Each structure stands twice: as C-alpha cells, then as structure tokens.
Structure 1
Amino acid sequence: MAPSALSLKLCILLSVLGILACQAASRPLAEATAMRKHERWMVRYGRVYADEAEKERRFKIFKENMERIEGFNRAGNRPYKLGINEFADQTNEEFRAARNGYKLPSLPRVEEETAWFKYENVSDVPASMDWRKKGAVTPVKDQGQCGSCWAFSAIAATEGITQLTTKKLISLSEQELVDCDVVKGEDEGCEGGYMEDAFKFIIKNKGIALESTYPYTAADGKCNAKEAASAAARISGFEKVPKNDEAALLKAVANQPVSVSIDAGDFSFQFYKSGVFTGPCGTMLDHGVTAVGYDKDANGTKYWVVKNSWGTSWGEEGYIRMERDIAAKHGLCGIAMDSSYPTA
C-alpha cells in the first residue's frame, strides 16, 4: 500500500476514534446536566422521595420527559410550546390516572339529550369574549393528586353564573362535591365524576358552600352535613349545549362560563406551556375543564380560552388556548361533545 493511502486511512481511523471519544465524554456531561436540572426542579416544587431507588427511578422519567419536550420544541412544527412543569417526574399513564377524573354516566340520559338550549336563537355574539376580564372567574385552583376535575369544572361554571347574577365573585367549594356528591359507580370523589351530576347535587342541596367554609383537601372525606348546609350560592337548573356543535358552544360561552369535557390524555397536553394548542388529541373524553372565553391570535387562528385545575405552573398560568372551529364536528379534543352550564 502506498504511504499516502496508508496515511489517509490512519487519519480517518484517528478521526473516528476522536469522535467516539468526544461522544463518550459528552454522555456523562449530559447526564450530570440533567441531574442538576432535576435537583433544581425538586427544590422548586418541594419534591421529596422515599429513598434513593425512588429518586433514581423518578430521575429517569424526568430525563426522558425533558428530552422529549426539548425535541418537540426544537422541531417547531406546532404553534405551541411544551415546558417542564411540576408533573415532569411522572409517566403519562401516572399523570392521567391522578389528574383526569371525568366519568360519563353509566346509562344514557335521553331527557338531557333533548333538553332546552336557551341560547339556540342567539344570532349576534361578540368577536371575542374573556370572562376573566369581566370578573366572573376566580383564580386558578389545583386539584392535586385527586381525580376531581369534574368538581372543579362544575364549580367554576357555578362561580361564573353566580357573579353574573349577583355581581359578586365568590370562591365555592369543590370539596363539598367530592365528599357529598357520591353516587356509587357514578360520582366517586377523587375516583372521578360528572359535571351535570354536580349541578344536580347543588340544586338538590339548595346550594353550595364557600371554599373558605368547606376547604379543599385533595382527598376523599366524609360529608360534613353542617358545612354543606351553609349555602353561599344557588343555581336553579342546568342545560346541555347541543352535541358536536362548536357554533352552539360559542353562543353559550359568549353568555357565561361553560363546563366542557375534553381528551387531555396526550403527552403534549401534560406539558403544554404556551401558544394555541392544536393537538394531537382524540375524543376519549377524560377531563373536565371550563371554557371561559374565545378569541383569535395574530395569525387569525381561532381559539377557546380554557381554565384548567392543575395549578398555575401548568400552561399559561393555569389556562390553555385550544384551537377553535376545526373541521371535525366534535371540536379539538372533543370539546364540543359534552358541555353544559348552570342556570340561575
């Protein structure tokens, strides 16, 4: 072999070995960086693990989630961003099990499917609406590790109609619903429930207590009949929004905050940070939230303003903007499939 050819092969071999050596050196560095980020995250969210084995397991989940989030944001092919939040050490399966507690009734309810929709003939709605700016929305709350989203959705809608009728914004009790609105196989506190059943309970109970009177514990408890009897707000009934009809939902939200059901099970929903959310998501409804407005962004993309119950570290200070008026009749993530609102 000619000396020049040998030299060339030697140079190539040394280059390859150099690249491999750099890669090997960078792996511990990347691991150390991820560990530092995890430690800072633990301090920020007050996370403490039972032992080193649990910490190691949670670190691996954290690192995998972080890498996936960074990859999503680098791709830049969606109009929204993901971000590390307090759920970063949970798998998507763990997260869904703890946070998504919407449960459809076990039996169909024909009378509710054909119920009156008082906004049916509304023909003129504002181009945008934000009930937060109109003083009808309380600060974002946090349901904790309890599948009580249904209670938070129903209470937010009830707080809204209460403010609209009394001109007073008061924070009402989700815990009363968790403890007292218990129907085996239907509403089961932290094991899930249904917003319309919550409205029925409030009507039957002749009202709902203040948050301060019956505070939230993020756990199932025994119904405190005395506190439950101290009604601070009442509703006279509730109505369903026509199914699979975003135009009808728009009419309702133009007039008051509305309880809506969505499919919030995707990884991108767990780590949503900002922007107009466009999916991916399906129609396997598993989460109750509250539509508190609508608008469009600078690019003309229409969206819903949705109040969640996962605290302010999630999303846009606890809210998500979800794309509106999509081609599918059920709306993005099924938002138009099952929604309702209280009347007073």
Structure 2
Amino acid sequence: MNKLILLSIIMLMPLCLAQNISVEKLLAYNKWSSQHQRVYLNEDEKLFRQMVFFENLQKIQEHNSDPNNTYSINLNQFSDMTKEEFAEKILMKSDFVDHLMKGISQETTHNDANKETQFNSKGVSYAYSIDWRTKGAVTSVKDQGSCGSCWSFSAAGVMESYNFIRNKAALVDFSEQQLVDCVIPANGYNSYGCGGGWPASCLDYASKVGITTLDKYPYVAVQNNCNVTDTNNGFKPKNWIQVANTPDDLKMALNWTPVSVVVDASNWGSYYSGIFNGCDQSHISLNHAVLAVGYDLQGNWILKNSWSAYWGENGYMRLAANNTCGILSYNYLVTA
C-alpha cells in the first residue's frame, strides 16, 4: 500500500506544482477534512489524499465556471478519492454486473401476466410530470457507506413505496441489511453483499421470506450472517416485472409507483445540483442501482440515491431525459 501511495504521489506531484497550491485551497482542504473527520494512516497517505483533493477541487472549479454545463459539482464525502477508488469502493464492479446479467433472466419477472394489460405504454396516457416525494410516498435518504450495497437500497425503496401507495399501509423503512445478509449464493441468488447484487433477486427473496423493517434489522454497511430463519417477516411482493426499455414505458411505470433502476454512475461522485448529463453515452457500464421517484415536465428523471442526504440535491439527482447513463436498461416494478 505504501508503495502505491508513493508512486501516486510522484505521479501527482507535477500537477500540484503546476497548480501552485494556494492558501485558499489549503484552507478549503482543512475545512473539508475537519468536516468529514478524516484520519489517515500516516503522513504519506495524508499527502496523497491532499493532492487527490486538490486535483478534484481544480476539476470542480473548472466545471462550474463553464456556463454551458447543465449541472454543478461540489466537494463531498468522495473528494479525496480518485475516480478509480470511487468505482472500487462505492460502485458495483462492471464485470460483476456483466456476469449478473447473464443469469438474471429467471428473476426478471414473477407472474408477469399483468405486463401487457397494465404497463404497455402504447395508447396509454400518463401525467406530464410526477414526483412521489410530494405525495409522502418515499422514505428518507440513506447512506450505504463504503459498501457496494446500492442494489439492496434500490429494492427496499421500491417495496417501501409500493406498500404505502398500493396497500395503503404506513410508510416504513425496510431492512437493506436483511437483503445484504440473506440474498446470497447459499440461498440461490447471484448477489454478494458489499460486492454487488441485483434488485430483482431481492424481490424474489422477499416474496418467499418477507422483508422486515429497518428498526428490527439495522444497517451496518458490512455483510454478516443472515439473521432470518422463518418465512413470515413482513411485506411480501407477489408480482413484479421488468419495465420495457423506452422512456414512455418508464414514465408509465412511474405513474404506478417508484421504480428500481440500474445506471452507470461512474461520473456521479461530485454531482451537486442541476440536470446531470455527464455520462459517456458511447461506453455505458452499468454499476449502480437507485430508485426513480418521478420525472419533470422536460422528461428528466428524479432519482433517490443512497449516498446520504449530503450528496447531490439532498440525496437526489435530476438525470437528463431518455436513456442517459443507461437508465432504461434494467428497471423493476412491483405490480402486486
């Protein structure tokens, strides 16, 4: 690890010298590191993190000074990570997701007889815009921490909202930790805790075992042994579908309830506000799952993330319309 840090320092040194690090930037770093309670192993790592921070701060200033950009970026909990570290610690591995996709066909639908009658967008009208937050149908923003468990938050979110909207039940937080611990290969699922997983696997698991509440099975950001033995643990989805990959179909689904969506979040780390369109559309690498809670009059998607309310627009993102960041690829909706 020390060799890697030293090598990185050597590589970043010309950049830092070229930037002519100012007192203002040093003060920005000290304020940020105090705010985020950063403690490093040694002086070498601290120096490396400082230089990564300065590089990210420079990118933020350059991006935000361009009036043509439709979104702004800012400092947050990821600001001392390189893009590669962010992908490694926070996102699901793209090769893992590719592997998952090859084995998910049996999990994409569950009794999908409702698909054509309820969610075929052809000839069906839907609202010009919708935001389930305004209807009190979305739980608070959570923080997955340094654990690639986004898939469990996306799945828990779609079940929470469905239960409130369609079952007229109280809005309660479901346990992401139960999904992290129990939706595992030993139980027949291609999901691997903090290493990544698939929202549809969570729906299949919950349909058989039920999903309990967050207060009964709290989130700890590491995978533990499954602490569920019986098969009567609360909410059980009966049916779900994979939404067809068109904007109209996703909008139609969002008129029913929020939807679990899978995206390429490689460039999301510093997002702060506005309409995000910063993905490389020529090379989409699906690596993150979130909850779509609506869309605006321009067709931009409203997404609930799991990186704390400190990130983005109080934990949310507005994503540019159509298939930005691959959002139309793999979407799941509870129908009963």
Deviation for aligned residue 1:85: 0.7
Deviation for aligned residue 1:112: 3.9
AA at the equivalent of 2:34: V
Gaps of 5+ in 1: 1-25, 326-330
Task: Look up the match of 1:129.
Answer: 130
What is the distance in 2 between the residues matched to 1:311 and 1:334? 23
- Residue 122 (structure 2) pairs with residue 106 (structure 1): no
**Structure 1 residues 316 and 27 mapped into 2: Cα distance closer, same or farther (>3 Å)?**
closer
Task: Look up the match of 2:305.
Answer: 308
**Structure 1, residues 134-167: CA drift from partner, whole Å, max 9, x if none?**
1110010000000000000000000010101123
The answer to whether the Cα contact below 8 Å between 2:109 and 2:241 also exists between their aligned partners in 1 is no
Task: Look up the match of 1:217.
Answer: 220
Deviation for aligned residue 1:74: 0.8
- Residue 71 (structure 2) pairs with residue 53 (structure 1): no
Where 2:101 maps in the other structure, the secondary structure is: coil
Mapping 1:304-343, distance limit 5 Å: 304-325=301-322, 331-343=323-335
**Structure 1, residues 237-294: CA drift from partner, whole Å, max 9, x if none?**
211101x31110110011100000111112xx11110011122333211110010011
CA RMSD in angstroms comes to 2.2
Mapping 1:194-205, distance limit 5 Å: 194-205=198-209
Task: Look up the match of 1:6.
Answer: none
Task: Look up the match of 1:159.
Answer: 160
- Residue 277 (structure 2) pairs with residue 281 (structure 1): no
Where 1:166 maps in the other structure, the secondary structure is: coil
What is the distance in 2 between the residues matched to 1:91 and 1:179? 29
Where 2:273 maps in the other structure, the secondary structure is: strand
The answer to whether the Cα contact below 8 Å between 1:106 and 1:186 also exists between their aligned partners in 2 is no
What is the distance in 1 between the residues matched to 2:87 and 2:101? 19
Mapping 1:22-61, distance limit 5 Å: 30-61=21-52
Mapping 1:139-158, distance limit 5 Å: 139-158=140-159
What is the distance in 1 between the residues matched to 2:314 and 2:19? 35
Where 1:71 maps in the other structure, the secondary structure is: helix
AA at the equivalent of 1:319: Y
- Residue 261 (structure 2) pairs with residue 260 (structure 1): yes
Deviation for aligned residue 1:229: 5.3
Deviation for aligned residue 1:108: 5.5
The answer to whether the Cα contact below 8 Å between 1:200 and 1:237 also exists between their aligned partners in 2 is no
What is the distance in 1 between the residues matched to 2:87 and 2:294? 25
**Structure 1 residues 74 and 210 mapped into 2: Cα distance closer, same or farther (>3 Å)?**
same
How many residues are treated as equivalent by the alignment?
305
Task: Look up the match of 1:13.
Answer: none
Task: Look up the match of 2:295.
Answer: 294
Percent identical residues: 35
What is the distance in 1 between the residues matched to 2:40 and 2:233? 40
Where 1:34 maps in the other structure, the secondary structure is: helix
What is the distance in 1 between the residues matched to 2:317 and 2:227? 34
Which deviates further from its counterpart, 231-240 or 64-73?
Answer: 231-240
Question: In structure 2, which of residues 85, 90, 95 is the aligned counterpart of residue 94 of structure 1?
Answer: 85
Deviation for aligned residue 1:110: 6.5
Deviation for aligned residue 1:215: 0.2
Deviation for aligned residue 1:107: 2.6
Mapping 1:115-126, distance limit 5 Å: 115-116=112-113, 117=115, 118-120=118-120, 123-126=124-127
Deviation for aligned residue 1:111: 8.0
What is the distance in 1 between the residues matched to 2:247 and 2:331? 10
**Structure 1 residues 224 and 125 mapped into 2: Cα distance closer, same or farther (>3 Å)?**
same
Where 2:35 maps in the other structure, the secondary structure is: helix
Which deviates further from its counterpart, 212-221 or 274-283?
Answer: 274-283
What is the distance in 2 between the residues matched to 1:112 and 1:192? 17
Where 1:292 maps in the other structure, the secondary structure is: strand
The two structures have a TM-score, normalised by structure 2, of 0.85
Gaps of 5+ in 2: 1-17
Question: In structure 1, which of residues 193, 199, 210 is the aligned counterpart of residue 197 of structure 2?
Answer: 193
Deviation for aligned residue 1:230: 6.1
Where 1:64 maps in the other structure, the secondary structure is: helix
Which deviates further from its counterpart, 128-137 or 94-103?
Answer: 94-103
